[in-house]
Structure 1
C-alpha cells in the first residue's frame, strides 16, 4: 500500500543520510586540516 511505500522510501532516505554522514565524518577525521 501507500503507507508501506512511504515507509520504505523514508528508511532508504535515512539510511543514505546515515552513510553520507559516516563518510563525511571519516573524511573529517583523516583529512583534518586543523591537526
Structure 2
C-alpha cells in the first residue's frame, strides 16, 4: 500500500522534502548569524 501511495503522490513528498531542507538551512544560517 505504501509503495503505491508513494508513486501516486511522489511529487507532493518531493516538495515537502525540499521545503523541509530549506527550513533547516534557514534555521542553521539564522543560528549562525545570531
Compute the TM-score of the two structures, normalised by the length of structure 1: 0.75
The ranges of structure 1 where at least 4 consecutive aligned residues each deviate by more than 3 angstroms after the TM superposition are none
Q: Greater CA radius of gyration, 1 or 2?
A: 1
User: Where do 5+ consecutive residues of structure 2 fail to align?
Assistant: 1-7
User: Where do 5+ consecutive residues of structure 1 fail to align?
Assistant: 30-35
Q: Which has the higher helix share?
A: 2
Q: Does 1:24 align with 2:21?
A: no
1:33 paired residue number: none
Compute the TM-score of the two structures, normalised by the length of structure 2: 0.77
Q: What is the alpha-carbon root mean square deviation over aligned residues? A: 0.3
